[in-house]
Amino acid sequence: GDSVTQMEGPVTLSEEAFLTINCTYTATGYPSLFWYVQYPGEGLQLLLKATKADDKGSNKGFEATYRKETTSFHLEKGSVQVSDSAVYFCALSFRPPGGYQKVTFGTGTKLQVIP
């Protein structure tokens, strides 16, 4: 079945450091790929998405590129801020013919940014 593997955390970075959180997936068909973020005490929020190969999703300085050849969707940000401290979830969704869009999540990566 479909699955998502992301790097284990926690990831601790100093403010203004470069961030990469790795995500790879296994899926039948051609899924859409997402990054969701969960800030402390809050619900899941969609951060960015990409729906086909070579698409780049971007939002709030974060970027991720849908790489079909490596089945990856790594999250990057050039300069993190303390306010980026949160748990980041990589996810995929796929709708089979006649079916519905089922989302599969990774286990999450906790990011801690220190001043």
Residue of 19, 21, 35, 49 that binds other proteins (CB under 8 A): 49
Q: Is 32 in the site for other proteins (CB under 8 A)?
A: yes
Nearer to other proteins, 14 or 51 (CB): 51
| Nearest-angstrom CA–CA distance, 87 and 13 | 14
Interface with other proteins by CB under 8 A: which range of 16-24, 60-68, 75-83, 98-106?
Answer: 98-106
Shortest distance, CB of residue 78 to other proteins, whole angstroms?
25
